[in-house]
């Protein structure tokens, strides 16, 4: 529901909305009214029809047919940095090799909640910006700028030239997340679960940091780790 509501809030309504008939239709009254005002075509459908399209029962009674999400380019990112429009310094999240759509969606949601200014992805070896990502992101995929770059190491070098400090997460790092200064222009670089950061990505970072692990597990889910790192930046900036 939140992902669909985000389309209307951003002024980019879907061309067609399927709403599950019956009790779910009553629960979705507010969303249906938004669709009517926006001129979206509305169709009541049995649950089975929605299940078939969604390939699962987790559609919450509504499916939106809309244009695919398109990432912005590296040049768009650099132009934005060169004419930075915000009072707060840039806070970016770089995801290297995150191929699971659920993890990508959850990272976008954390980035939105923390007020990050953008998420940077490589064009290769990354999860697609598909319907599952948008559903898991719960509206964040429409609100957080997503940039896709052809060569991640090169893009990171350009970020450094623009004054952005790059902090990569690695289990073997000596410095803790809580020891690094995240109050200035910065980007947090997260690797894929298990593999971590690729060599060139790791070498492109200004510093490597780790999360203190007091229990028996050796690492955290990438979306959980991203959320912790982003909110440490928020804490430092508010402090």
Q: Report the Cα–Cα distance between both ends of the chain, in Å, rounded.
A: 35
pLDDT for res 80: 96
CA angle 54, 58, 62 (to 5 degrees): 65
What are 115-145's pLDDT values in tens digits? 999 999 999 989 999 988 998 998 899 889 9
Within 8 A by CB and 6+ apart from 27, the residues are 61
Residue 15 has what DSSP assignment? S
Task: Tell whether pTM > 0.95.
Answer: no
Identify the band that residue 54 occupies on the pLDDT scale cut at 50, 70 and 90. confident
């Amino acid at each position: 529901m939140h992902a669909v509501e985000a389309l209307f809030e951003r002024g980019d309504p879907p061309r067609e909305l399927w709403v599950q008939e019956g009790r779910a239709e009553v629960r979705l009254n507010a969303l249906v009214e938004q669709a009517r005002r926006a001129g979206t075509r509305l169709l009541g459908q049995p649950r089975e029809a929605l299940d078939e399209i969604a390939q699962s029962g987790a559609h919450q009674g509504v499916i939106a047919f809309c244009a695919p999400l398109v990432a912005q380019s590296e040049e768009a990112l650099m132009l934005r940095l060169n004419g930075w429009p915000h009072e707060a310094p840039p806070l970016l999240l770089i995801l290297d090799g995150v191929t699971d759509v659920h993890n990508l969606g959850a990272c976008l949601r954390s980035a939105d909640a923390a007020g990050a200014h953008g998420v940077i992805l490589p064009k290769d070896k990354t999860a697609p910006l598909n319907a599952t990502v948008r559903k898991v992101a719960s509206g964040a995929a429409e609100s957080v700028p997503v940039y896709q770059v052809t060569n991640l190491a090169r893009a990171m070098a350009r970020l450094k030239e623009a004054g952005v400090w790059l902090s990569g997460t690695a289990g073997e790092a000596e410095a803790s997340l809580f020891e690094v200064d995240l109050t200035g222009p910065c980007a947090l670089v997260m690797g894929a679960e298990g593999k971590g950061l690729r060599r060139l990505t790791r070498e492109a970072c200004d510093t490597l940091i780790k999360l203190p692990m007091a229990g028996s597990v050796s690492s955290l889910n990438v979306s959980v780790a991203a959320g912790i790192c982003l909110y440490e930046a928020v804490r430092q900036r508010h402090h």
